[in-house]
Amino acid sequence: MTAYRLLTLVIVVAHFGFLAYLVAGGFLAWRWPRSIVLHVAAAVWGTTVLFVPLVCPLTWAEEWSRQRAGEPAPQGGFIDRYVEGVLYPERFTLAVQVLVALVVLGSWAGLALRRRRAGQPSAATARP
């Protein structure tokens, strides 16, 4: 395996890692509350690239490393190549996007509830 092919593999794995963090990172903030800032930034980026024609830096890096490895430039974005039609049928794209948004918002709501409860004394420790 050439160095550029290995680099391409590392970039693809990192991209999947970013997508996993985008979906589940809000739940990590339940354990590490300060990480919510990074998760909000990831969610903003993920939402932005859905509506604004931007090229993700990881997609750009993958294309660059594939070309250096002598492979043709891939067509479409990362989601188009590796997720839609692979993990779920393309006709469910909107449903999956809504589900991801609900999971993210639900994780944030859960974090808010946990913070709220942490600030209130529990019934066992409250004094009359």
Output the pLDDT for position 73.
84
- Low-confidence stretches of the chain (pLDDT < 70) are 120-128
Can you say whether the dihedral through the CA atoms of 17, 22, 27, 32 is positive or negative?
A: positive
**Are 110 and 27 in contact, with CB atoms under 8 Å apart?**
yes
**Are 114 and 30 in contact, with CB atoms under 8 Å apart?**
yes
pTM across the whole model: 0.86
Output the pLDDT for position 123.
47
Which residues make beta-bridge pairs with 84? 88
Output the pLDDT for position 120.
63
Which residues make beta-bridge pairs with 88? 84
Output the pLDDT for position 122.
46
Output the pLDDT for position 127.
54
Output the pLDDT for position 124.
47
Output the pLDDT for position 60.
94
